[in-house]
Amino acid sequence: MDSHPESPIAPPPEAPREPILTLPPALTAYIVLIAVIHLRVLLPPELENWTIDVFGFIPKRYDSTLLDVTFPGGDGAKVWTFVTYSLLHANLTHIGFNVLWLLPFGSALARRFGAVRFFVFMAVTAAAGALAHLLTHEHAIAPMIGASASVSGTMAAAIRFAFVRGSFLSFSRGDADAAARVPALSLSRALRNGRVLAFLAIWFGVNIVFGVGSLAIGGDNVSVAWQAHIGGFLAGLVLFSLFDPVPRARDDAADASSVDQSGRV
């Protein structure tokens, strides 16, 4: 009987690894919405200015002292501008700067929260940023625009889980979905984590430099509303647990999971 050599068995193909940085649908929709709204720059100047007056956040709307100024939008604008200002931007550089920070932090948060939670979170952190701006610019007549407060909120929320083993800023991470679903640290545990504290120090330091130095982004002499950044950041850090659908690990388990295989935290 003839014998035939056995055919080599090919190893099973590896499952494709999804890149850690991909855009979930909710974040894609958010960025597209900002881009479409920015087409307002194609409007005649008087109509574009009217759009900013109606949808931008103007602290003077809530001030009955000093100058008697009437803004378009009426009483309704006192409500919706707490959120709508965040969808307006000064220029493409302003949009690009915010999108750049949304790519890692917003992607992880949108995957973790899902679309509805993500959009509500962005609105809540925008409102928190507007409130912080109002408290520190009580009589300001210049409108504030931009998504930076919400972007700051996503950064703050994401660091509650970003450094946990397997997440997107850890030394040992999984694919995009797995990285976004690791159990988060409690607020108290996060504030005792060395990498979280280092991130906080750098973030607040940069914003203080922007505030003290009155630096501008985009070359149009548009000042940075750094108080709004801080308001959105603090809201994202503190309110994260109200939105988070992933069960939180016990403190002892969180301690173990926050250290990667090389022993670094």
DSSP-based three-state secondary structure for 1: coil
Cβ contact 179:123 at 8 Å: no
> From first to last of its 265 residues, what are the pLDDT tens digits of the chain?
454 444 455 454 444 444 445 789 999 999 999 999 999 999 999 999 999 999 999 998 887 765 566 778 888 999 999 999 999 999 999 999 999 999 999 999 999 999 999 999 999 999 999 999 999 888 888 899 999 999 999 999 999 999 998 888 877 766 788 888 899 999 999 999 999 999 999 999 888 877 665 544 444 445 678 899 999 999 999 999 999 999 876 654 444 444 444 334 3
Q: How far apart are CA 71 and CA 202, in angstroms?
A: 38
Q: How far apart are CA 98 and CA 96, in angstroms?
A: 5
Cβ contact 165:230 at 8 Å: no
Q: How far apart are CA 196 and CA 198, in angstroms?
A: 5
DSSP-based three-state secondary structure for 144: strand
DSSP-based three-state secondary structure for 185: coil
SS (H, E, C) 51-75: HHHHHCECHHHHCCCCCCCCCCCHH
Strand spans (E) along the chain: none
Q: Look up the pTM and report it.
A: 0.81
Going from the N-terminus, what domains does the chain have, and what CATH number goes with each? 25-257 (1.20.1540.10)
Q: How far apart are CA 111 and CA 175, in angstroms?
A: 12
Cβ contact 129:228 at 8 Å: yes
pLDDT given at position 226: 86
The residue count of the chain comes to 265
